[in-house]
Amino acid sequence: MKTDKTQKDEVEQELVLNAASRSLLKSVSTWSKVLAVVGFLVVCGRLFFTLKQGVWSPDDARGAAWAAGRFALDAVYFCIAVCLLLFSTRIDKAFHQNSQLLLTSALSSLKLLFKVAGILAVVITVSFILWQLFVESSF
């Protein structure tokens, strides 16, 4: 008699990607690579302008704080671009090598991307609410 664990393992082994699924994942891989490259270009551009405006010639403490905030945002953008690039390259390798392990790794990169995006959404929402409560209400 099979235990629940062996039945679960057999069910997990039955997942097969058909041609349509492969095509969709390849398309997602291509677009994630494009978005990763655009993300890296945006980060480079933002870093250049941040360094030009805030760090190389900080007029006051407020300018330096603004530059530090932009650096933090650039770090988040960079992490998102890296997650997209990891997903894309791992999906491509998984299809090239026909590897279930690489496919799982690619999907874990995508999971990390969604975690970062979710945390970022919560932080931005909370920051906006706090800004509205404490800064905008004081004027």
**pLDDT for 7-27, tens place per residue?**
555 555 666 788 998 999 999
Which residue's structure tokens are 């039945």? 7
Query: Where are the domains positioned within the chain?
Result: 22-138
pLDDT band at 80 (very low <50, low <70, confident <90, very high): very high
- The answer to pTM > 0.85 is no
Cβ atoms of residues 46 and 74 within 8 Å: yes
The count of other CB atoms within 10 Å of the CB of residue 33 is 17
**pLDDT for 81-96, tens place per residue?**
999 999 999 999 999 9
**pLDDT for 114-130, tens place per residue?**
999 999 999 989 988 99
1: pLDDT strictly greater than 80: no
| Cα–Cα distance measured from residue 129 to residue 136, given in angstroms and rounded to the nearest whole number | 10
4, two tokens = 């629940």
Which long-range contacts does 93-96 make (Cβ < 8 Å, 24+ apart)? 95/22, 95/25, 95/26
Cβ atoms of residues 62 and 31 within 8 Å: no
